[in-house]
Amino acid sequence: MTRKINIFDTTLRDGEQSPGASMNTEEKLVIAQQLLRLGVDVIEAGFPISSPGDFRSVQQIGQLAGDKATVCALTRAVDKDIDEAARALEGCKRPRIHTGLGVSPQHLHEKLRITEDECVERAVHAVKYAKQYVNDVEFYAEDAGRADQKFLERVIEAVVEAGATVVNIPDTTGYQLPEDFGARIKGLCDHVRGIENVTIAVHTHNDLGMATALALAGVKNGATQIECTINGLGERAGNTALEEVVMAIKMHGDELDAHTDVNTREIMRASRLVTSITGIGVQPNKAIVGANAFAHSSGIHQDGVLKARDTYEIIDPSEVGAKGSEIILTARSGHAALRHRLSELGYTFDEGTFDDIYKRFLDVADQKKEVYDEDLESIVQERQRTQSSSVYTLDALQVSCGHPLIATATVTITDDSGATTTTCEYGTGPVDASYKAIDKIVSMHGDLKEFSVNSISRGIDALGEVVVRIASETGEVFTGRGSDTDIVYSSAKAYVNAINRMVSNARAHDEAQA
Ligand code: KIV
Ligand code: ZN
C-alpha cells in the first residue's frame, strides 16, 4: 500500500485571500459541503480573529463537518488569536489550530524584527498555548522556502518537541525550484529529531507557475500532507491547485509512493462551484478543470482521439466528473427528469425549494432549446445566492435603447421591509441606465470596479452570466453575479446581488459593533 497523502484544503482561507474572492458564511458552507463530498481530510475554514464572518464560518463549518473532516482555524503566533480560534472550534469534533510565524531572514529582520532565538521562543510558546485547547496543533514556518535550512531545522525540532502534530513547510512566495524544495524536506526528515512522529505538510504558492511541482517534490521527499485550493485560488498567483496534485498523485501513485482519498469525480463540480461563488473564472487551458482540458481541435488530434482516446488524453474526463449529460432537458421535461439530473449533479432539495427551481428551469427552458448542466448549476447557485443575502429583490426591469435613441430603464425593486419602489433613469446604454435607476432606490452605493459578461453554456440562446465587482466607501470589494438569457437583465441582477452583499456586510458589521 502506498502512503496516504492528506489533502488540506485552504480555499476558504488562503483561497479567499485572492483579491475579489471574499465569500460570506452561507457561501463558505456551500463550498465546505462540496469539500466534504470530495473527501478532503482537512478544511481550513478561516482565520477567526480577522473578522466576525471568519469566526462564524469556522464555527459553522466545524459543526457541519462532524467527524468527516478535520476543521482547522488559522492564527498568528499570538495568544489572543489562539484564544479566538479555540472559541470558534468549540463543539467541533475534529478541531485543529494552525499557528505559526515567519522564519526567513526577510520575515525575521523586516516584518517581525526579532532574533532567531525570539522566533524559536514564540513558536514554542504558540504551540504549547494552542495545545491547552486542542490536541491537534499544526505549526507553519512561514516563508520556509527562503529560510536558512539549519535555522528551519532548529525551529521545527523545537515545535515538534513542544507538541505540534503537523509541521507545515510553506514556500510562501513560490520562490524555490522543485528539486531544492524537495531537498529542504529531505533535510528536515534527515536532521530533525522526532520528525518521524509528526506529519510534514507542504504549502506552496504559484508565483513561478511551479506550485504543483513544488508540492509533489515535497511528497517525494517525505511530506504526507498537501495544502491546496480548488482552481489554485489564492494570494497573488495562487496556491497549489487541488485538482492538479490529486490527479498527478492518481496518475503517478507508484512512483510517488502516494495516494489520496479524494473522490476525483467531484472535482469538476467543486471547480464550477468555486468559480460561480467567487466570480473568478478558470482560464480555458487550465489543467484538469479548464474548458479546453479535454477538447481536441486539430484534425490530427481528433483523428487520434477517435481511434483511441488515450492517444492524446491521459485522463478519462469522467474520472474528474467532466462527463456530459445524457438526458436532454427541454421545456417539455417534467419534474422527474429535472430531479434526476439535479441528483446526478449532487443536488437534492425539499419540495418547496425544488418547485422554485423547477419554475426557474421552465423560464430558462422556454427561452432555450436545451438546458445544459452549466445552466442548471447556475439556476441552483443563483437561488442559493438570493436566499442567503436578499435585502433588495429586483422585481422588474424594462429598457428601451437603440441608435440614436437615449437608453432608458425602468426598475422595480422590493426591499426586505416589503416596500416596493419603481423609478426610471437614462444613461449611455441600457446597463448604465439600469444601474443608475437601481442606485436611485438602494441605500448604499458602490463604485463599479469590474464588469464582465460570459456565456455559461452553448449557443446563441445561452445564459449570459454577468459578474460585477463594486467597492464600498471603506474600499471593501463585493462580487455580484446574475444570469439570464437577457444580458441586460443579468447585469441588473448581478448589480443588485453585489449591493445586497455590501448592505448585508455593513449590517453584520453594525450588529457586531452594537
Ligand atoms: O503561504 C503561507 O505561508 C501561508 C501560511 C499562513 C500557512 O498561507
Ligand atoms: Zn499561503
Question: What is the number of the ligand 1 atom nearest to the C-alpha of 98?
Answer: 7
Residue 450 has pLDDT above 80, yes or no: yes
CA of 136 to the centre of ligand 2 (A): 20
Asked if 510 and 482 touch (Cβ cutoff 8 Å), the reply is no
CA of 67 to the centre of ligand 1 (A): 25
Asked if 424 and 439 touch (Cβ cutoff 8 Å), the reply is no
CA distances from 241 to 155, 204, 209 (A): 28, 10, 11
Extract the C-alpha cell encoding 54: 471568519
Note the pLDDT tens digit of each residue in 344-403. Answer: 777 888 898 999 999 999 998 888 777 887 788 888 887 876 666 679 999 999 999 988
Query: Distance between CA 339 and CA 329 in Å, rounded?
Result: 11
How big is the chain by its Cα radius of gyration, in Å?
A: 25
Asked if 137 and 127 touch (Cβ cutoff 8 Å), the reply is yes
Query: Distance between CA 465 and CA 262 in Å, rounded?
Result: 30
CA of 248 to the centre of ligand 1 (A): 23
- Of 16, 155, 166, 203, the residue with max ligand 1 atoms within 8 A of its CB, to mutate for a pocket test, comes to 203
Question: What is the number of the ligand 1 atom nearest to the C-alpha of 13?
Answer: 8
CA of 30 to the centre of ligand 1 (A): 24
Residue 145: CB partners within 8 Å, gap ≥ 6?
Answer: 104, 170, 171, 172, 173, 174, 175, 176, 181, 184, 204
Q: Which ligand is nearest to the CA of 103?
A: 1
CA 321, 322, 324, 329 torsion: positive or negative? positive
Contact 139 CB / ligand 1 (< 6 Å):
no
Contact 13 CB / ligand 1 (< 6 Å):
no
DSSP assignment letter at 462: P
**Amino acid (1-letter code) at residue 9:** D
What is the DSSP pairing of strand 258-259 with strand 392-400? unpaired
Question: What is the number of the ligand 1 atom nearest to the C-alpha of 17?
Answer: 8
Note the pLDDT tens digit of each residue in 78-133. Answer: 999 999 999 999 999 999 999 999 999 999 999 999 999 999 999 999 999 999 99
Label each residue of 261-326 as H, E or C. CCCHHHHHHHHHHHHHHHCCCCCCCCCCCCCCCCCCCCHHHHHHHHHCHHHCCCCCHHHHCCCCCC
Query: Distance between CA 172 and CA 194 in Å, rounded?
Result: 25
CA of 58 to the centre of ligand 1 (A): 17
The helix or strand, by DSSP H or E, that contains position 83, with its residue range, turns out to be helix 79-88
Q: Which residue has the higher pLDDT, 476 or 461?
A: 476
Q: 510: burial class by Cβ within 10 Å (0-12, 13-18, 19+)? A: exposed
Name which residue sits closest to atom 7 of ligand 1, judged by CA. Answer: 140
Which of 185, 173, 259 has the alpha carbon at shortest distance from 210?
Answer: 173
CA of 401 to the centre of ligand 2 (A): 48
Residue 324 has pLDDT above 70, yes or no: no
Query: What is the model's pLDDT at position 389?
Result: 61
Residue 318 has pLDDT above 60, yes or no: yes
Note the pLDDT tens digit of each residue in 45-83. Answer: 999 999 999 999 999 999 999 999 999 999 999 999 999
Note the pLDDT tens digit of each residue in 124-168. Answer: 999 999 999 999 999 999 999 999 999 999 999 999 999 999 999
What is the DSSP pairing of strand 420-427 with strand 407-415? antiparallel
Question: What is the number of the ligand 1 atom nearest to the C-alpha of 10?
Answer: 8
Query: Distance between CA 301 and CA 312 in Å, rounded?
Result: 7
Asked if 50 and 84 touch (Cβ cutoff 8 Å), the reply is no
CA distances from 408 to 209, 342, 489 (A): 47, 39, 13
Note the pLDDT tens digit of each residue in 258-293. Answer: 999 999 999 999 999 999 888 898 998 999 999 888
Query: Distance between CA 352 and CA 100 in Å, rounded?
Result: 47
Confidence of residue 421 (pLDDT cuts 50, 70, 90): very high
Query: What is the model's pLDDT at position 458?
Result: 66
Contact 172 CB / ligand 1 (< 6 Å):
yes
Contact 203 CB / ligand 1 (< 6 Å):
yes
Residue 428 has pLDDT above 80, yes or no: yes
Q: Which ligand is nearest to the CA of 229?
A: 2
Residue 22 has pLDDT above 60, yes or no: yes
Query: Distance between CA 13 and CA 74 in Å, rounded?
Result: 8
Extract the C-alpha cell encoding 165: 502534530
Question: What is the number of the ligand 1 atom nearest to the C-alpha of 140?
Answer: 7
Query: Distance between CA 121 and CA 389 in Å, rounded?
Result: 45
Which of 129, 121, 84 has the alpha carbon at shortest distance from 103?
Answer: 121
**Amino acid (1-letter code) at residue 277:** I
Which of 501, 439, 508, 440 has the alpha carbon at shortest distance from 469?
Answer: 501
Query: What is the model's pLDDT at position 246?
Result: 98
N-term to C-term CA, the chain = 56
Contact 175 CB / ligand 1 (< 6 Å):
no
CA of 495 to the centre of ligand 2 (A): 31
Residue 325 has pLDDT above 60, yes or no: no
Query: Distance between CA 179 and CA 27 in Å, rounded?
Result: 38
Query: Distance between CA 512 and CA 498 in Å, rounded?
Result: 21
Instruction: Determine if the peptide bond prior to 404 is cis (ω within 30°).
Output: yes
Residues in the chain: 514
Contact 392 CB / ligand 1 (< 6 Å):
no
Mean pLDDT of the chain: 92
Asked if 480 and 497 touch (Cβ cutoff 8 Å), the reply is yes
CA of 457 to the centre of ligand 2 (A): 33
Contact 142 CB / ligand 1 (< 6 Å):
yes
Long-range contacts of 105-114 (CB under 8 A, 24+ apart): 105/146, 105/147, 105/148, 106/143, 106/146, 107/142, 107/143
